[in-house]
Amino acid sequence: MFRGIKNIIRFFWHLYRANVFPGCLFSYESKCRISIKANIIGFRILNYVSIDDYTYIAQNSNISYTNIGKYCSIGPNFLCGWGIHPTDGISTSPMFYSTMEQNGTSVCKKTKIEERKFINIGNDVFIGANVTVLDGVTIGDGAVIGAGAIVSKDIPPYAVAVGCPIRVIKYRFSPEKVDALLKMKWWEYGEKYHLSIERNFFDIDGFLKKYSK
């Protein structure tokens, strides 16, 4: 008995040493396309999700029907895309409008609404901790979503948006620079440009001058 407990502790110790969060063992992924260059940390539930290169998602993510681009940074407790309930029917319970038996039963022969709408998150998007994104939303390239926000509408590229209801408080750069960055799409340049980005990190003008097509 004592040896059994010791082995369990040793098992988790080895996982810890190998940088594997034990939460991963209880995670669930279905119908996903996740780049081997992406990093999903700790416990996650992913359903119909694609995640591109160099994106990371912190602990405790729960994401479905979502495409996420490259170089995104997503904070802990990310809840994204868990379906639509109509509010203009007699009831909001899916047993009357969906065949999916969410509560274990359904009296419906055919689903009456579009229950899921894909969410698109662009490239180089930063999403703070404890953010919820509702179905069908698009978050543009380079956008920033403040901690605790509920993203209930589309967010333009390079906007900084916060709060609930969410609102754009500013843009990261001038409209001219945003246009140039969107035309440039540096995130498609590949690994050989990583060092140039690092060297020019706070010199946007110099970077655009040097690398704009």
Ligand X SMILES: CC(C)(COP(=O)(O)OP(=O)(O)OC[C@H]1O[C@@H](n2cnc3c(N)ncnc32)[C@H](O)[C@@H]1OP(=O)(O)O)[C@@H](O)C(=O)NCCC(=O)NCCS
Contacting positions for ligand X (CB under 6 A): 58, 75, 128-129, 144, 146-148, 160, 162-163, 169
- Shortest distance, CB of residue 45 to ligand X, whole angstroms? 19
Which residue, 27 or 130, is less far from ligand X as judged by CB? 130
* Structure tokens belonging to residue 124: 């180089």
- Is 85 tagged catalytic? yes
Three-state DSSP state, 160: strand
Select 94 or 146, whichever has its Cβ closest to ligand X: 146
Question: Minimum distance from CB of 133 to ligand X (Å)?
Answer: 14
Residue whose CB is less far from ligand X, 72 or 119? 72
SS3 138: strand
Nearer to ligand X, 67 or 77 (CB): 77
Pairwise CA distance, residues 55 & 45, whole Å: 16
d(CA 56, CA 15): 20
Tell me the one-letter amino acid at 207.
Answer: F
| Cα angle, residue 32 at apex, residues 30 and 33 outer, rounded to 5° | 160
Least distance (Å) from ligand X to the CB of residue 211?
Answer: 25
Strand pairing report for 144-145 and 167-171: unpaired
**How far apart are CB 148 and ligand X at their closest, in Å?**
5
Q: In angstroms, rounded to a whole number, what is the distance separating the alpha carbons of residues 85 and 199?
A: 48
Least distance to ligand X from the beta carbon of 147, Å?
4
Options 85, 112, 153, 172, the catalytic residue: 85
Tokens coding 210: 């040097």
Q: Answer whether 167's CB lies under 8 Å from 191's CB.
A: no
Nearer to ligand X, 49 or 127 (CB): 127
3-state secondary structure of 177: helix
Catalytic residues: 85
